[in-house]
Amino acid sequence: MTAVPTAQEQIAFILKLQRLFSEGEFSATYKFALLLALAELAVEYGDDSGAALSLPMAKVGEKFAELYWRQVPPYSSGLADTVGETLHQNKGSVVAIMRPLRQLHALSHGQWSQVRALSVWPACLKAICQTVHGMPLKHLQVLGGQLDPFLYTYPCPPDRVVLNAGVAFNLRRYQELVQQLAKAGWLEHVRSNKLNRVILGMRDDLETFMFGSARADLSEVAKVLDPLQQQCCFYCQQPIKGKAQVDHFIPWSRYPRDTAHNFVLAHAACNRSKRDMLAAKSHLERWLAHLSRHGDEQGVLLAQFGFVSDQRCSLSVAEWAYRGGVQAQAFVWNCGGEVEQIEHAYLSLF
């Protein structure tokens, strides 16, 4: 029977991650993307049992591609003496993953949600998976010149990656830490690349370009949500008069990914009061009921604007976030300045 990692084993895992960033060789940004991909997939498909997690290579490749998607178009700082070009992800030629991604980007007009419908998607995904299998999967766990397979056993079979016992648990438990470390490392790698100096100049909006939320279309999100919520604030249930705000029900700070089913429409005051907190039980019950009634329609409508529509994924992320809140004995937001401590009973709603 698999056991949940002990406190000492969790600390050992974090120290290994620290070694990975300090001792690992990063000639390209692939390793950062792979670590982010495995961490997100652990949330979306794993659990907290401590068991090993088998991930199809197709899922790993798809997540890997999604992480690079925002970086396919040229970056333009708009500053004098700079040029608009695709960012360099290594010290030499364009990384292999960009070739299929550029083809997909052009054919889908930049809409990630439309990629899977393209006839070339299977061939492009196969090429991406081969790149992931042959490069970052092989080299990610090399510490101090030696292979240390603490995340997964390597060589991997061509069709899957099996996370070792305890790894999915740790990636879920320390998701925010993994996100911060990997994204900070990825940003520094791009900034320090001499080939990018003529592109970046002195401007400091690189993080938003590489990882930011696709918030330009939130006005369209509001138009979709307004009739589904009967023109009422999701949280206080009072009519919305004037401009409403689109809120991430599971806060962006906890899981920085836009998905169609995680959006709700709220009064500006309610949105400000909630901040980056999880919502109280009554709100969670309402959100789950809303998805039961309107989830299919909301997903279809918002997919048209490029948002990923996967209700199962959104529910898995929500359960993960609330389970983490229970484990941390966190407080959740009810209304205004009123908060309450989360209870284990919240998890029974899932």
Q: Are residues 185 and 84 in the same domain?
A: yes
Instruction: Choose the final residue of a domain: 170, 196, 211.
Output: 211
Residues 94-115: what's their mean pLDDT?
90
Largest distance between two CA atoms of the chain: 62
Could you please report the per-residue DSSP string of 287-331?
HHHHHHHHHHHHHHHHHTTT-B--HHHHHHHHHHHHHHHHHTT-E
Phi-psi region of 210 (alpha: psi -120 to 50; beta: other; left: phi over 0): alpha
Residues 186 and 83 in one domain: yes
pLDDT at 200: 74
Question: How far is residue 120's CA from residue 97's CA, in Å, rounded to a whole number?
Answer: 15
Q: Is residue 1 part of a domain?
A: no
**What mean pLDDT value characterizes the chain?**
88
pLDDT band at 292 (very low <50, low <70, confident <90, very high): very high
Clarify whether residues 235 and 337 are in a common domain: yes
Residues 178 and 230 in one domain: no
Q: Which of 211, 233, 258 is the last residue of a domain?
A: 211
Do 222 and 164 share a domain, yes or no? Answer: no
**Residue with token string 């390793």:** 31
pLDDT band at 94 (very low <50, low <70, confident <90, very high): low
Rounded Cα gap, residues 175 and 107, in angstroms: 33
Residue 163 lies in a domain: yes
What's the domain range around 238? Answer: 215-349
Give residue 187's pLDDT. Answer: 83
Give residue 216's pLDDT: 47
User: β-strand 142-143 against 146-147: which pairing, if any?
Assistant: antiparallel
Q: Are residues 13 and 38 in the same domain?
A: yes
pLDDT at 3 over 90: no
Model confidence at 25, pLDDT cuts 50, 70, 90, reads low
Residue with the larger pLDDT of the pair 268 and 207: 268
Domain for residue 164, yes or no? yes
The count of domains in the chain is 2
The residue from 180, 211, 242 where one domain ends is 211
Asked if residue 111 and residue 27 are part of one domain, the reply reads yes
pTM above 0.85, yes or no: no
Give the model confidence (pLDDT) of 197-251 as tens digits. 777 765 556 777 787 655 445 788 999 999 999 999 999 999 998 888 999 999 8
Q: Tell me: the pLDDT tens digits for 122-178?
A: 999 999 999 999 889 998 998 767 889 999 999 998 899 999 999 999 999 999 889
Same domain flag for 110 and 156: yes
